[in-house]
């Protein structure tokens, strides 16, 4: 509301200070801006456009959740793989120690 009051005061000042030609040019400019705004608003009020936007948003949400799920699955696979490698390394190290002990005993 304050914005409208400020603009009204500004227009009153312009009306007093601008020449008739400048004033009419300013009014034409304002009218063209108003038409642009109305055209843009009508685009957003169109139900088909609104449905298209909703579909696009749903698609983005699905894609984001899919990527998050895949990322979690990949991280889980990496954890499992790392745990498996660590177990195998421990098993191999134990086997190697046993072999070294057997070699030492036979000497």
Residue 18 region by backbone torsions, left for phi larger than 0, else alpha for psi between -120 and 50, else beta: beta
Residue 74 main-chain phi, psi, to 5 deg: -65, -45
CB atoms within 10 A of CB 105: 7
60 vs 32, higher pLDDT: 60
Cα 38 from chain centroid?
Answer: 28
pLDDT of 36-76, one tens digit each? 888 888 877 888 888 998 999 999 999 999 999 999 999 99
pLDDT at residue 1, rounded to an integer: 56
Vertex 16: Cα angle to 14 and 17 (nearest 5): 65
Q: 44 CB contacts (<8 Å, ≥6 apart)?
A: 50
pTM of the predicted model, to two decimals? Answer: 0.50
């Amino acid at each position: 509301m304050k914005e409208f009051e400020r603009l009204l005061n500004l227009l009153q000042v312009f009306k007093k200070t601008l020449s008739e030609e400048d004033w009419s040019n300013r009014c034409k400019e304002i009218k063209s801006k108003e038409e642009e705004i109305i055209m843009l608003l009508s685009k957003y009020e169109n139900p088909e456009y609104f449905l298209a936007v909703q579909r696009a948003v749903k698609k983005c949400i699905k894609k984001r959740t899919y990527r998050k799920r895949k990322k979690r699955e990949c991280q889980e696979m990496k954890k499992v793989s790392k745990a498996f490698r660590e177990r195998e390394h421990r098993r191999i190290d134990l086997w190697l120690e046993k072999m070294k002990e057997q070699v030492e005993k036979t000497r």
